[in-house]
């Protein structure tokens, strides 16, 4: 459970969670906000950082899944681990129990350092896992599942079956859209996605300002 101290009254910025299914284009969208000066806290980046060689999370993963998931250079073999967790759902839950508490704490620590009016927290599994009660607003990057499969096969060299398995392990499109305050359709050109991000940026700045005013009027 996140500490109640994480709120705007303590000087924490307005927080927008950015989420979407795999290969929906979350990085393209978060990069568009970053270019506008918005601080980006990416849980995928954090997840990579906490399994670097020597990190406690990596040692715990090796203990849970076996030393074969560690490459000769001491780094995590994501390919081997991915094959385990997507073929055995209970193994995925085991991995999440190791990673997610550490990721949430790292997010809280990063938010506390933000000085901008608002920040974007990229949380791919928000619809599946929740557990970020301090988020003020949710932005869903949306594309058709067939587009996700095509992009995933092209990006990772996955087979169609593997891509479909990955999608099946995540929340459905309907489930993600049901939690959205805002939706960014990323099925067209990058330019259109960037234009929509700029529009939302202006809206989020206004929302952040209003939130600060409300807090100052109701201390």
How do the domains of the chain map onto residue ranges? 6-39+117-219, 45-113
Q: What is the pTM of this model?
A: 0.84
Are 13 and 114 a contacting pair, CB within 8 Å? yes
- Based on its alpha-carbon atoms, the radius of gyration of the chain, rounded to whole angstroms, reads 18
Are 128 and 21 a contacting pair, CB within 8 Å? no
User: Looking at domain 6-39+117-219, what is its CATH homologous superfamily?
Assistant: P-loop containing nucleotide triphosphate hydrolases (3.40.50.300)
Are 24 and 152 a contacting pair, CB within 8 Å? no
Are 122 and 40 a contacting pair, CB within 8 Å? yes
Say what the pLDDT of residue 217 is: 56
**Spans in the chain with pLDDT lower than 70:** 1-11, 212-219
Say what the pLDDT of residue 218 is: 56
Tell me the C-alpha distance between 190 and 198, whole Å: 12
Say what the pLDDT of residue 6 is: 42
What is the dihedral sign for C-alpha 196, 199, 203, 208? positive
């Amino acid at each position: 459970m996140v500490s109640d101290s994480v709120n705007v009254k303590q000087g924490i910025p307005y927080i927008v969670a950015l989420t979407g299914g795999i290969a929906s284009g979350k990085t393209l969208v978060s990069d568009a906000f970053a270019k506008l000066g918005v601080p980006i806290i990416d849980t995928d980046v954090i997840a990579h950082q906490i399994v670097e060689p020597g990190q406690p999370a990596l040692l715990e993963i090796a203990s849970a899944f076996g030393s074969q998931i560690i490459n000769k250079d001491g780094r995590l073999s994501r390919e081997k681990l991915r094959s385990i967790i997507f073929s055995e759902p209970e193994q995925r839950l085991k991995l999440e129990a190791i990673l997610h508490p550490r990721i949430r704490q790292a997010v809280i620590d990063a938010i506390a350092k933000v000085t901008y009016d608002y920040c974007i927290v990229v949380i791919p599994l928000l619809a599946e896992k929740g557990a970020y009660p301090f988020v003020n607003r949710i932005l869903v990057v949306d594309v058709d599942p067939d587009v996700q499969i095509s992009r995933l096969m092209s990006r990772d060299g996955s087979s169609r079956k593997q891509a479909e398995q990955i999608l099946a392990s995540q929340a459905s499109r309907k489930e993600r859209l049901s939690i959205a305050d805002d939706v960014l359709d990323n099925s067209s050109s990058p330019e259109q996605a960037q234009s929509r991000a700029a529009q939302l940026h202006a809206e989020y700045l206004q929302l952040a300002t209003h939130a600060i005013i409300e807090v100052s009027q109701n201390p």
